[in-house]
């Protein structure tokens, strides 16, 4: 086995261990009644421990930070991609790249590209004709995130 393949295998195994650890901690918390899971529909079930694990891996990304901050400040309200861009100050492509990184990291941790933030394609703007992504965070997840991010 060459060095690159061996390294990739070890990195994947570490991600599996972290993912399993988060899932088992979430299950234990559910059994003990110390943590609740929030069902975010197509984004799946989330626990505070899972949000904390994901945040610990993505908090260095300014675009992801802007996404979490903006949606947590206005829980259950839709926030536009433009608002996230304005907050992060990043070029559109870099912001999109950081959203892709969030998806990749989440997939490594939880075996699925899912976020603790819901999203959908908005309607087309009457001026530009461009449809914009919308993001929102459940109020319970927003409370967890604010506690975690302090």
Task: Give pLDDT tens digits for 44-63.
Answer: 888 888 999 999 999 999 99
**Distances, alpha carbon 110 to alpha carbons 47, 51, 52, 103, 131, in Å:** 12, 11, 13, 10, 29
38/51 Cα distance (integer angstroms) = 11
Residue 79's pLDDT band, with cuts at 50, 70 and 90, is: very high
In this structure, the number of other CB atoms found within 10 A of the CB of residue 69 comes to 17
Q: pTM here?
A: 0.75
Q: For residues 135 and 78, is the Cβ–Cβ distance under 8 A?
A: yes
Contact 49, 35 (CB under 8 A): yes
Q: Which two tokens stand for residue 116?
A: 């603790």
Would the pLDDT of 32 be above 60?
no
Average pLDDT of the chain is 86
CA-to-CA separations, 124 to 5, 73, 129, 136, in angstroms, rounded = 45, 25, 5, 18
Quick one: average pLDDT of 118-131?
Answer: 80
């Amino acid at each position: 086995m060459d060095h690159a393949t061996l390294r990739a295998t070890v990195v994947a195994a570490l991600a599996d261990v972290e993912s399993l650890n988060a899932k088992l901690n979430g299950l234990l918390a559910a059994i003990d009644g110390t943590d609740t899971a929030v069902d975010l529909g197509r984004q799946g079930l989330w626990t505070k421990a899972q949000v904390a694990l994901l945040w610990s891996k993505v908090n260095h990304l300014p675009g992801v930070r802007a996404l979490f901050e903006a949606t947590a400040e206005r829980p259950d309200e839709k926030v536009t991609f433009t608002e996230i861009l304005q907050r992060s100050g990043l070029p559109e492509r870099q912001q999109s790249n950081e959203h892709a990184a969030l998806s990749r990291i989440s997939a490594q941790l939880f075996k699925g590209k899912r976020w603790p933030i819901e999203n959908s394609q908005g309607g087309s703007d009457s001026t530009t004709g461009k449809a914009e992504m919308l993001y929102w965070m459940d109020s319970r997840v927003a409370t967890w995130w604010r506690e975690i991010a302090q």
